[in-house]
Amino acid sequence: GESVGLHLPTLSVQEGDNSIINCAYSNSASDYFIWYKQESGKGPQFIIDIRSNMDKRQGQRVTVLLNKTVKHLSLQIAATQPGDSAVYFCAERDPGGFKTIFGAGTRLFVKA
């Protein structure tokens, strides 16, 4: 599959460990945030979202934390599996709700 960004920050974790991927967003007025996973050769896939009136949201094996004070998002993946290896993007939606602004992405490697 194609490479998605040769110069991305990379996180390497051992299978079974927890992963934390961080993201700084740009607009303090953004009110909705999403994490996407992009596997090689595929389009981004929705993982989890959070609105700005929340600071934590949990899904299946994933948790998103939002710190509006410092404009920071994190994605926590519990018990990381080889299938979690991918590029992860955070995205923010502008207050009008029409535009999605993606972060640069982080490449996650899971070592078996």
Partner 1 sequence: DSGVTQTPKHLITATGQRVTLRCSPRSGDLSVYWYQQSLDQGLQFLIQYYNGEERAKGNILERFSAQQFPDLHSELNLSSLELGDSALYFCASSEGRLSYNEQFFGPGTRLTVL
Question: What is d(CA 94, CA 112) in angstroms, rounded to the nearest whole number?
Answer: 39
Could you tell me which stretch among 12-20, 53-61, 69-77, 98-106 binds partner 1 (CB under 8 A)?
Answer: 98-106
Stretch that binds partner 1, among 17-25, 66-74, 75-83, 95-103 (CB under 8 A): 95-103
As a whole number of angstroms, the distance between CA 75 and CA 12 comes to 15
**99 binding partner 1? (CB under 8 A):** yes
Residue 24 or 104: the one with the smaller Cβ distance to partner 1 is 104
| One-letter amino acid for residue 29 of the chain | A
